[in-house]
Chains A and B, each alone.
Chain A
Amino acid sequence: MTAPVPLLSVENLTITYASDAGPVQALRAAHLTARAGEVIGIVGESGCGKSTLASALINLLAANARVTSGAVRLRGQDILTLPEDAKRAIRGRHIAMVFQDPMTSFNPVLPLGAQLTDFQHHLPQTRAEKRTRARAMLARVGIPDPDLVLTRFIHELSGGMRQRAAIAAALLMTPDVLVADEPTTALDVTMEAQIIHLLRALRADHQGTILIVTHHLGVIGELCDRVYVMYAGQVVEEATVDDLYHAPRHPYTRALIACDPAHLETHTPVLPTIPGHLPDLTAPPPGCSFANRCPLVTSRCHTAPPPWVRLSDTQAALCHEVAP
């Protein structure tokens, strides 16, 4: 298999946030590759850097964030170093995002129809044509009465309908990359199942790649092809979704899966946990970030940074103790 330029790649990306306690190293040499047609999962707990990575992908980093090294490449071109107007041309059109809370991703005082028309400002069509496109997209994402919804304000929709509308808005420009940050976290379980089903149906007619950023292993298991596991700002494991669940290699991945109550088949009144805390990211440890919580820890884990060990074509882990 000759590897052409991947649709999206993140290389060695390091991002720090300025804070009173000194720079917080939110992302340390993060990397990922996404090819057209793939659904990629990025999973981790709070503070692992997954949202920073998502913001970097769509070029919406906070004002106090600084990219100290690395690149985000769309078809080989680094989008982080582009001038501001070129960044704007990519955002929405080539890389679009679905946020966790659809309520705040729409303007509360404009009807949805006006916003969905404005979102297509890159296109040459007339407003009437754009409105027809918006209507078709709302129907596509399973909104039963799209004509009515076009006249509605976001607060008039239910939670599930809001998230459908947000997905429709992101897909309007047929982006190459769709980033969904915790797309089902704000929803009830029956709505969550419907949105998962919708995203799965959409990937069939979506030519690009979908990145799902979540803490929920269930969403990963239902939706993704390949997964990147993050911990303390680093990518600690990369695997196919099947290997990740059935043959995880990094001790953190193993512990994370063991903690998920959905993983436990038998009645377990005392739930498994991961003892210890995240390291302080203003001064990350010189060795492995997971060393103080790891069951396999040895003395070198505290002193030397762990290597990125390639275990197979599709699996790799950032650990001293995994053998290929």
Chain B
Amino acid sequence: MTALYDVKNLSVDLTLPQGLVGMLLPGSKPKLNLLKAISLTLNQSETFGLVGESGSGKTTLARAMLGLLPISGGQLAFEGQPLTSSRSFTPLRRRAAMMFQDATASLSPRMTVGALLAEPFHIHRQPLPDPNAMAASLLARVGLPAAIAGRFPHELSGGQARRVGVARALALNPALVIADEPTAGLDVSVQGEVLNLMTALKADLGLSLMIITHNLAMVRHVSDRIAILYLGRLMETGPTRAVFARPAHPYTQSLIASEPQPDPRKRRTGPAISGEIPSVLNRPAGCAFHSRCPRAAALCRHTTPELRDLGQGRAAACHFAELT
């Protein structure tokens, strides 16, 4: 398998707003570090799961990968082409599509579904001989009747809006679709339909899928490989089955153990993890997770662990990863 998208050592900083004095004074501007030293590879025709709690930087990473946010360090390469300037992202955006988190809000309320499906062609100046036929075929591909093309976004149900989002992402035959929380807010019976549709399309069209989610129960079944983020740092990455079978990072272990169990015979006795995710404004020194980690030692409080290669495509950023 060849790499479709290569992220090396990516950092994203946010320049903080400052007062008049700060503007006049020379020197460096205060910065908030959102992502640091993120390296990951998306392979051809695989489903990659990006997992983390709110504020872990999942969406920021996806936006940076599509050039929607300026990056402050590291290299990005799509299909072997380095993405260095904002102009170099233009061809990428034709080949990589994003499904945003709020499916209904990401569709313009004054445009019909048909017009929304034609929009990517206009933006990228692609030929569109018969917009109606194209809309009908895209809608058919995601299992919606052609009559939906005449509706406005507010007339769609949550599941239908999600399907229109999939159809719009597929319009230009992308190589990569990034789906931000594709099942948030959907009922469990509809969630399966949307994911199965995406999995089937992935197989039919040979595209790669990156699913951003906090839903571990779901990502465990649909993804081939996963990466776990915490406070903008990569904690663990590897093949999904291996990570779930034997999580190497204490954070991954606590996440898996926190999932509520529908089987009352498997009830847990206490919460797997105490405390709250710290603010990025007040990031702990050393390992970002040490303030909540059951295994934290003195070393973790001052030294940031590097991502360690554990073999078989696995890696974890923990001083004690090899001991698990």
Contact = CB atoms under 8 A, between A and B. Distances in A.
B268 interface: yes
20 contacts: A159-B54, A188-B214, A190-B271, A192-B258, A193-B258, A193-B260, A193-B272, A197-B271, A217-B188, A218-B259, A220-B262, A221-B263, A221-B264, A222-B261, A222-B267, A245-B263, A245-B264, A246-B265, A263-B262, A271-B218
B147 interface: no
Contacts of A267: 220-221, 240-241
Given A188-B54, A245-B262, A259-B188, A193 B273 contact: yes
Nearest to A272: B192
Contact of B187 (A45, A197, A246, A268): A45
Contact of A45 (B188, B241, B258, B276): B188
Nearest to A45: B187
Interface of A: 45-46, 158-161, 184, 188-194, 196-197, 215-222, 241-242, 245-246, 255-257, 259-264, 267-274
Given A221-B261, A262-B261, 19 more contacts: A46-B187, A192-B260, A193-B268, A193-B272, A193-B273, A194-B273, A194-B274, A217-B188, A221-B263, A245-B265, A246-B263, A259-B189, A259-B191, A261-B221, A262-B260, A263-B263, A267-B220, A271-B195, A274-B189
A255 B192 CA distance: 12
A196 B258 CA distance: 10
Nearest to B222: A269
B262 to A, nearest CB: 4
A216 B196 contact: no
Contact of A193 (B54, B195, B214, B271): B271
A213 to B, nearest CB: 15
Nearest to A264: B221
Nearest to B273: A190
Given A190-B273, A256-B188, A273 B196 contact: yes
A262 B262 contact: yes
A268 B221 contact: yes
B60 interface: no
Given A268-B221, A269-B222, A270-B196, A194 B263 contact: no
B261 A218 contact: yes
Interface of chain A: mostly helix, strand, loop or mixed: helix
A197 B270 contact: yes
B112 interface: no
B109 to A, nearest CB: 20
Interface in B169-214: 187-193, 195-196, 199, 214
Interface in B235-287: 240-241, 254-255, 258-268, 270-274, 276-277
A262 B217 contact: yes
Given A215-B188, A245-B263, A261 B220 contact: yes
Contact of B259 (A246, A262, A269): A262
B34 interface: no
B216 interface: yes
Interface string B97-123: 000000000000000000000000000
User: Which of A191, A221, A262 has the largest count of B CB atoms less than 10 A from its CB?
Assistant: A262
B260 A218 contact: yes
User: Which of B54, B217, B240, B263 has the largest count of A CB atoms less than 10 A from its CB?
Assistant: B263
B192 A271 contact: yes
B232 to A, nearest CB: 15
User: Which of A217, A222, A241 has the largest count of B CB atoms less than 10 A from its CB?
Assistant: A222
A274 B186 CA distance: 13
Contacts of B309: none
B259 A189 contact: yes
B53 interface: yes
Given A189-B216, A273-B189, A221 B53 contact: no
A260 B260 contact: no
A190 B254 CA distance: 8
A292 to B, nearest CB: 14
Contacts of B258: 189-190, 192-193
A226 to B, nearest CB: 11
A269 B199 contact: yes
Contacts of A269: 199, 221-222
Contacts of B267: 221-222
Contact of A191 (B189, B199, B220, B276): B276
A160 to B, nearest CB: 6
Contacts of A263: 262-263
Contacts of A256: 188-189
B264 A242 contact: yes
Nearest to B279: A158
A120 B247 CA distance: 47
Contacts of B263: 221, 245-246, 263
A217 B193 CA distance: 18
B218 A261 contact: yes
